[in-house]
Structure 1
Amino acid sequence: MRKLLLLSFIIVSFSQAAIVKSLKFDGLIHLSEEVASEMIGIKQGDFVNIEIIDKAIKTLYKQGYFKDVWVEEAGHGDLVFHFKEKPTISKIELDGISDSDKEKIFEFLGMQKGEVYDLDKATLSELRVVKFYEAQGYFDTVVEHKKEVLNENSIVIKFQINRGEEVSIETVNMCGSNALEYSDFEPKMANKEAEWLPWMWGFNDGKLRLNDLQYDPARIKDVYMQNGYLDAKVSEPFLKAYLDSYTATLTYNINEGQQYKIDVVDIIIPKGFIEVETLKDEMVLKSGDVFDVERLRRDVKRVETKVADLGYAYVRVIPDIKKNTQGALASITLRVIPGQKVYINDVRISGNSRTIDRVVRRDVFLAAGDLYNRTDLQDTKSALKRSSYFESVNIKEKRVSKDKIDLVVEVTEASTGSIGGGIGYGSSDGLLLSANLSDTNIFGSGITASVDVERSDKELTGRISLTNPRVFDSVYSVGGSIYSEDSDYADYDEQTIGFNVTVGRRFGRNIKGSVSYVLEQTELSDFGEGIDMSLYTEDKTIKSSIIPAITYNTTDDYYLPRRGMIFKSSLEFAGLGGDEEFIKSITKFNYYFGLKDLYKYDLILRYKSQFQYVSDNGYLPINEKVYMGGVRSVRGYDSSSISPKNSYGSLTGGTMMAVNTIEASFPLVERLKMRGALFFDYGMMGEDDLNIKRGGTGAVIEWVSPMGPISLIFAQPLFKEAGDDTASFEFTMGRQF
């Protein structure tokens, strides 16, 4: 409302131009007198008339601060502008919703404490809240606001929000889809059918997501492009909602067209860079394959990487697809535009709120002044992910000049501190329990510490470990542990207390060497029937040994590798003083090969092997001999339950062991990071030769849970013989798959 009060003598005085002798403002709060005067363009000494004054009042009123504005002439030429301001918002309340929703709504509400109340603005805020809930799939949301007067100039605004109901998608119809099924599109779509138990974590809730609905046709089209249907057309979604039941059906009209195969694959690149055949060898798509746009994208990346490794950071690979509709063939030409060589200007670290910058930088293989190399960037990502410090790693490239680039290493930190455990059951050992408290990144320093306890009917062990993998950010590492073991094995009891210290060094990106010193005291007792006591002693013995070792690791992930290998080999020399004298060799090899690039299915093949050998150089106690069985060797048998036996059935231990494992891991519930695996273990061991043979097969449920990797192992022993102790189920946590 605007009010203008002009006394009759003002009308007479200012019907013609008159001089302003003085100018005053009464009732201003939000505007200063100087600003108000500047805004209306009137000051002392100006000539004014009724039109100028009327224009000034309108200008002030449009600012939105005032309910009333009027002018009074206090004397001849003395003007007084009077204001009645709108009330100020002292507080905004949101009622009827959760605290988490309140935080989000305040960010876009458009009204703030301390500003002047405006009805139109408050109405717009109501609409924003309604749209916010509609975007989340809630319909019929009602929002009203009320004013609560505190005093003449201050009010409280209360928004009463009655959130509507969620609309659940009961059916998604793919009309015209013959070659592909709904299940092929479902992983890519945002709006999906509600699954059985939609309220349970990991199942599709069927919730309508309006914001994503416009993008789903493109996602469906992309699935067709991955299966060779280059001419596929997908309509806009037709949504039919039933607000009486808050359910909906979603319909797409699809024209699939024909499936294309690849005719010719060619690459055009300037001479003097890389041979065309070399680049073609990097590609997966070949002539005769069904066209797959996803594989094409990855092939483009492979060719880009090959050229970018020469320093051409801004290389462009432009795919040109020509369709021959008559023969349903597609010819692909990749045009490579290298650009110019680029050097690293600076490397910045982002996202590491806990981990110290230098801990990240020590695994970054490019530095300021280096020639750009994309493989180095990929190796950097793999090394950072293998560290276990980070959940995700992304490296952004920011151009600062035509031949300079900044690298921004963005990391999302993982929960490196964990409490883990395992449980299993063996017919011999009974219930098997383990607990672990560890942190692989103490205070963000990269230092690892752990406390481990294992308990079964026959064993109690404890270990405290501390390791610094990069002393002063150098290539050297140092670590150690103290431990105590009290074990009741089938044919002897063992009590051990000791410590070890390890010094290591990195040789390149993937190779590490180390030397460990071990000092421990062991007491063996209660030997089984028939054990040759002339070979052993029940007195306490001291082992003093040195263990050189080497590790080669090229895997791409810490817990769930999809590519790469791990090779570890160690050789223990016992007899540097003390009572025990022997040599023990342990070698392990793991190889991981993911088939997703080749067959579009996230199948991971794993091959694992290990070989152990020990020789007696003076005194080889029974506890240092080789035993087989359990999750670390042949599943389906109790841990360390397989070895040569004497005539009384007592385990005497072997001197050599070879185990091979083949595994195939496949996705079960991808959104839960849950996988399944089938395995076959085959092991051989013995005293002088590998004459004892056992196997195991079964299935594993693998889950990368918020608490760490968990494995549920269901095993069936193979080649079982009388007297063998078996274990059909085991549970592990915290171990690499």
Structure 2
Amino acid sequence: MKKSLFLVLLALSGLNAEKIQSINFKGLIHLSPEVAKDIMGLKVGDELTGDATDRAIINLYKQGYMQDIWIDTDNKGNITVNIKEKPSIARLDIKGVVTNDKTAIESLISIKPGNMYDDLIIEKTKERIRQYYESKGYFDTVVDVQKEAVAGNESSLFITMNVNRGENMIINKVNLIGVQKFDYSDMEPLVANKSREFMGWMWGRNDGKVKLQELPNDPARIQDRYFQKGYLDATVSSPYLNSSFDNYTADLTYYIHEGKPYDVAKVGINAPSELELDTDEILKDFKLEPGDRMNSARLRQDMKKLDDLVADKGYAFVKVYPKTQKYENNQTVDIEYEVDSGEQVYIRNVQIAGNDRTVDRVVRRELYLTEGNLYSRTDLQDSKDALKRTSYFDDVDIKEERVDKNTVDLTVEVKEASTGTISGGIGYGSSDGLLLNASLSDTNIFGSGMQGTISIDKSDDELSGQISLTNPRVFDSEYSWGGSIYANDYDWDSYDEKSYGFSTTVGRKLTRNLNASLTYVIEQSDIQGLKDVLKEVGYKEGRNIKSSIIPAISYNSTDDYYLPRRGIIAGTSLEAAGLGGDEEFFKNRTNFNYYLGLREYIDYDLIIRYKSNFGKIWDNGYVPINEKLYLGGIRNLRGYESRSVSPKVLAKDGQWYETGGQIAFNNSVELSIPLIERVKMRGVLFYDYGMIGEKNLNEIKRSSVGAGIEWVTPIGPLQLIFARALDKKHNDETNTFEFTIGRRF
């Protein structure tokens, strides 16, 4: 107890148990006198004794507000309780740190403006800051705390924490003692703590910084590498970090016993008969079979496959245990998957959370699991994928909360995306000159799920505008309806085109991933300034009316709208022009995109993409030049100017002019690499190849390679593309840089 308390007790020892006549307070701020009296336990009329005052002072101290307390008396029973409260924190500043670190530290510490100042809490805060930087590999961090009273108010303090971040501990070498079959290069991609490489500061190189939080997990990563190669007897010691604080370098050592690899002898499944599993068929589909080298990664894949099969029968809490029997005499292992199915589970309640803007019904209509349904793991995953394909949400998670052995509640937690944008832009393209753009768009208008766009684009060669509105689920049904009006004014090298038109589309969802639609288009185009050489091949100037219908079918099983990591996008359509009007033709467009994320295979967020498009026109009377097929540009064959890859004719002035093709195919292979994950920025490497011709695809072939940046910005997905044409011919037009906003990657 404080010295003042000791003096008070000493002074009171001489009192002859006076009765309390009145109780007054001096310096009381946070408590009212009535509440303070109740806490103290002293009342008027009570005898004033040393024990009573002792208890009163202790009770007040327990509130945490007081820095000092003493009691005065006038020897007539009138007592005054003097209180010196702890000062409050008016402002807390953290200096010497970057913005990101400051935000993280503020979320970790418990000191907030308005809190009472407490030396113990200050020391704990300093320790948390040091631990934060140690977790990032910085050692010897120093935190200095300054206190300053607010002018004219000693009960409030300005607190400044000056952080002197320590130094990074750098790993010079990783020692793997006992290793014979593998070496450090085999383990380096797996572990978080790596030795510093030459020019380690460069992106893509190992900087060697110690990551303390990951250090306890690295032995398990090394051991799993052995298990993936069949070394089931392999053991890895805890990490030994031999550090020098003189120069902040360290050697990291593991002691490893490898053993010998095992081969799989038998694989079996032990499951309850009521599951009615065809175990023979299931085993045929497993990755790990008799005769294979034992592999823990394949074992986990097979466990998940079996787990999902049982969960699809309603057993939400199924557990699959791999039982292994090793035989050291011949280095083989038997595997038996033990299935504990538990009870079948039904959905009790489905709650939606996080949808501040999007109405509940828009979320619910994408769910394949609802109240009363038998649980299904596939339905759960398909629901998540369907929600992410809408573009309404940045992230979707469906949490399961067990109610009892036969029921479960689902909570659909969504993180809403910024779907509405008002944007304007100005840029410059090597072919289009000055580029201007203004648009107002929203893929989730007022949270209703409806999509709308108003846009205007202007360049040296183009002036175009569009207004569109689409309801993807009319009255929350399987039907969709939409329409658009548009106008374009193009100044191509070989002719000028003005067009305006209207289109409307009715669609229906056939299955979870399959949709059908029917579109009607009415458009008038006016072609002027057609070069003579193009007139000679049969093209006409003047106005044309196109009236066409376009039946289409599309398939989408991807797991995200803008950045898919899994699934297929495919579709085909056949436009039939000639329902009145001047143009008569059939045009087929077919596309196929495949996405494969490699994170589950290599624990790194690489994405492989394959994209392809095919087009074919059949002339039934007249096909104008603006309806022909062209390649080139960011949408199909990067590295070449837009619409420049096409059959061409040579005019008398020595210029080549595109005539357009009647059959075309283009495809690309892409590798998407994470760059700055916290801002959703990625890099991409690609190879494009395209073919086009009048009669067959072999007439013109072009290819390109390049790299780019993919960035999901607040105004939409942005792509910056740098490309190089590989096989340019003398009459080709190439382009090295292009960008686009709003297209999926």
CA drift of 1:11 comes to 4.9
Q: 1:320 to 1:497 in 2, by over 3 A?
A: same
The 1-side partners of 2:701 and 2:424 are apart by: 29
CA drift of 1:59 comes to 5.5
- Out of 674, 677, 681, the position equivalent to 2:689 is 681
Q: Which moved more, 1:516-525 or 1:590-599?
A: 590-599
The 1-side partners of 2:466 and 2:334 are apart by: 62
Q: 1:621 to 1:235 in 2, by over 3 A?
A: same
Letter in 2 for 1:270: P
- Out of 372, 375, 380, the position equivalent to 1:372 is 375
The within-5 A match list for 1:375-414 is 375-414=378-417
Contact 1:235/1:252 (CA < 8 Å) preserved in 2?
Answer: yes
Q: Does 1:610 align with 2:588?
A: no
Letter in 1 for 2:166: E
Letter in 2 for 1:604: I
CA drift of 1:72 comes to 3.3
Contact 1:169/1:250 (CA < 8 Å) preserved in 2?
Answer: no
Match of 1:148 in 2: 149
Match of 2:521 in 1: 518
Q: What percent of counterpart residues are identical?
A: 39
Q: 1:146 to 1:248 in 2, by over 3 A?
A: farther
CA drift of 1:448 comes to 3.2
The 2-side partners of 1:95 and 1:662 are apart by: 50
CA drift of 1:60 comes to 5.1
CA drift of 1:335 comes to 0.9
Q: Does 1:161 align with 2:158?
A: no
- 1:573 is paired with a residue of what secondary structure? strand
CA drift of 1:141 comes to 0.8
Cα deviation, 1:342-390, whole Å, max 9, x if unaligned, reads: 1112222223344333332222122111121111111122222222333
Q: Which moved more, 1:512-521 or 1:662-671?
A: 662-671
The 1-side partners of 2:635 and 2:656 are apart by: 22
- Out of 722, 727, 732, the position equivalent to 2:734 is 727
Match of 1:712 in 2: 721
Q: Does 1:696 align with 2:702?
A: yes
The within-5 A match list for 1:607-686 is 608-617=612-621, 619-628=622-631, 638-641=641-644, 643=646, 653=659, 656-659=662-665, 661=667, 663=669, 665=671, 667=673, 674=682, 677=685, 679=687, 681=689, 683=691, 685-686=693-694
Contact 1:542/1:580 (CA < 8 Å) preserved in 2?
Answer: yes
Cα deviation, 1:308-331, whole Å, max 9, x if unaligned, reads: 112221221112233334444333
The 2-side partners of 1:62 and 1:100 are apart by: 37
Match of 2:241 in 1: 239
The 2-side partners of 1:660 and 1:152 are apart by: 74
Cα deviation, 1:612-662, whole Å, max 9, x if unaligned, reads: 122223x43232234455555566655444555568697685674152636
Match of 1:316 in 2: 319
The 1-side partners of 2:726 and 2:160 are apart by: 66
Q: 1:430 to 1:330 in 2, by over 3 A?
A: farther
Q: 1:407 to 1:624 in 2, by over 3 A?
A: same
Q: 1:596 to 1:283 in 2, by over 3 A?
A: farther
CA drift of 1:269 comes to 0.9
Letter in 1 for 2:217: Y
Match of 1:175 in 2: 176
Q: 1:541 to 1:271 in 2, by over 3 A?
A: same
Cα deviation, 1:701-733, whole Å, max 9, x if unaligned, reads: 364323426363645556x8x765253746453
Match of 1:303 in 2: 306
The 1-side partners of 2:623 and 2:425 are apart by: 33
CA drift of 1:36 comes to 5.5
Q: 1:124 to 1:715 in 2, by over 3 A?
A: closer
CA drift of 1:126 comes to 4.0
Q: 1:309 to 1:87 in 2, by over 3 A?
A: closer
Contact 2:587/2:615 (CA < 8 Å) preserved in 1?
Answer: no
Cα deviation, 1:410-466, whole Å, max 9, x if unaligned, reads: 23334445769999989xx68797968554334444333446666777555444443
Q: 1:107 to 1:85 in 2, by over 3 A?
A: farther
- 1:446 is paired with a residue of what secondary structure? coil
CA drift of 1:13 comes to 5.5
Letter in 2 for 1:696: R
CA drift of 1:37 comes to 5.5
Cα deviation, 1:481-514, whole Å, max 9, x if unaligned, reads: 3333333445433222323222322222222222
Letter in 1 for 2:618: V
Q: Does 1:509 align with 2:512?
A: yes
- 2:367 is paired with a residue of what secondary structure? coil
Contact 1:642/1:724 (CA < 8 Å) preserved in 2?
Answer: no
Match of 2:477 in 1: 474
Supply the RMSD in Å over aligned alpha carbons: 4.3
Letter in 1 for 2:734: A
Q: 1:609 to 1:131 in 2, by over 3 A?
A: closer
Q: Which moved more, 1:671-680 or 1:504-513?
A: 671-680
Q: 1:477 to 1:408 in 2, by over 3 A?
A: same
Question: Which runs of 5 or more structure 1 residues have no equivalent in the other structure?
Answer: none
CA drift of 1:549 comes to 2.0
Contact 2:684/2:710 (CA < 8 Å) preserved in 1?
Answer: no
- Out of 575, 579, 584, the position equivalent to 1:576 is 579
- 2:307 is paired with a residue of what secondary structure? helix
- Out of 356, 360, 365, the position equivalent to 1:357 is 360
Q: TM-score, normalised by structure 1?
A: 0.83
Q: TM-score, normalised by structure 2?
A: 0.82
Q: 1:616 to 1:298 in 2, by over 3 A?
A: same
Match of 2:84 in 1: 85
The 2-side partners of 1:621 and 1:469 are apart by: 33
CA drift of 1:340 comes to 1.9
The 1-side partners of 2:599 and 2:111 are apart by: 50
Contact 1:141/1:164 (CA < 8 Å) preserved in 2?
Answer: yes
Letter in 2 for 1:20: K
Q: 1:422 to 1:159 in 2, by over 3 A?
A: closer
**Number of positions where the alignment pairs a residue of Structure 1 with one of Structure 2:** 725
CA drift of 1:27 comes to 2.8
Q: 1:240 to 1:493 in 2, by over 3 A?
A: same
- Out of 261, 265, 268, the position equivalent to 1:263 is 265
CA drift of 1:604 comes to 3.4
The 2-side partners of 1:4 and 1:637 are apart by: 90
Contact 2:174/2:195 (CA < 8 Å) preserved in 1?
Answer: no
Q: 1:713 to 1:423 in 2, by over 3 A?
A: farther
Letter in 1 for 2:574: L
Q: Which moved more, 1:620-629 or 1:515-524?
A: 620-629
Letter in 2 for 1:362: R
The 1-side partners of 2:461 and 2:116 are apart by: 76
Cα deviation, 1:675-714, whole Å, max 9, x if unaligned, reads: 655546353532xx42743333443436432342636364
The 2-side partners of 1:566 and 1:104 are apart by: 39
Match of 1:545 in 2: 548
Q: Does 1:496 align with 2:499?
A: yes
Q: Which moved more, 1:283-292 or 1:242-251?
A: 242-251
Cα deviation, 1:211-240, whole Å, max 9, x if unaligned, reads: 443334334434444444433333333334
The within-5 A match list for 1:552-571 is 552-571=555-574
Contact 2:595/2:607 (CA < 8 Å) preserved in 1?
Answer: no
Letter in 1 for 2:610: R
Contact 2:575/2:587 (CA < 8 Å) preserved in 1?
Answer: yes
The within-5 A match list for 1:113-152 is 117-136=117-136, 137=138, 139-146=140-147, 148=149
- 1:381 is paired with a residue of what secondary structure? helix
